[in-house]
Amino acid sequence: MRVTRRQLRRIIKEEVARSLNETGPLYVPAGNPAPPADSNWSDFAAALDIGVLDLEEIGYEFGYENFHDLDQSISPASLADRDARAFVAAAKANSLRAEDMSDNDILAAASGFGGHASRGAVPKTRRSGRGIGRE
């Protein structure tokens, strides 16, 4: 039995209509959604005004496959503790707001503190005759 294009279109329309009646409309989020409120990363994302796709990019730089892998594996504070400089660089590369923030403010956001970070702060460096040293 051959099926004509007209018959195929009718069958597809009927199946789509039946499916929508059973399940309701399909909503696909657009853009770069914020992480879920129960995520380890939701407060950090809000502080830097970034979404899941930006967090995935940060995660890729540390070897995580996607946001779910990152969220289930580590908190922002723990990831920042591993390598504060790389964490700050990744945040600044993926957030316009972070570009205007100090390193300590980014680390504070990762730790969940609103003010300046007291521990784990990125040390300032200066050039001296012997190379780079802490101030």
Whether residue 18 is contained in a domain is answered as no
Whether residue 13 is contained in a domain is answered as no
Whether residue 4 is contained in a domain is answered as no
pLDDT score recorded for residue 29: 61
Whether residue 88 is contained in a domain is answered as yes
Q: Across the 135 residues of the chain, what is the mean pLDDT of every consecutive 10-residue run? A: 85 84 69 91 95 94 93 95 96 94 96 54 41 41
With vertex at residue 89, the alpha carbon angle to CA 84 and CA 95, rounded to the nearest 5 degrees, is 120
Whether residue 36 is contained in a domain is answered as yes
Provide the sign of the torsion angle of the four alpha carbons 96, 77, 41, 56, taken in this order: positive
pLDDT score recorded for residue 59: 94
pLDDT score recorded for residue 20: 76
**Structure token pair of residue 75:** 């908190």
Identify which of 62, 55, 51 has the alpha carbon closest to the alpha carbon of residue 29.
Answer: 51
What total number of domains does the chain contain? 1
pLDDT score recorded for residue 19: 80
Provide the residue range defining the domain that includes 53: 29-135
DSSP for 18-41 reads HHHHHH-------S-PPPPTTSTT
The answer to pTM > 0.75 is: no
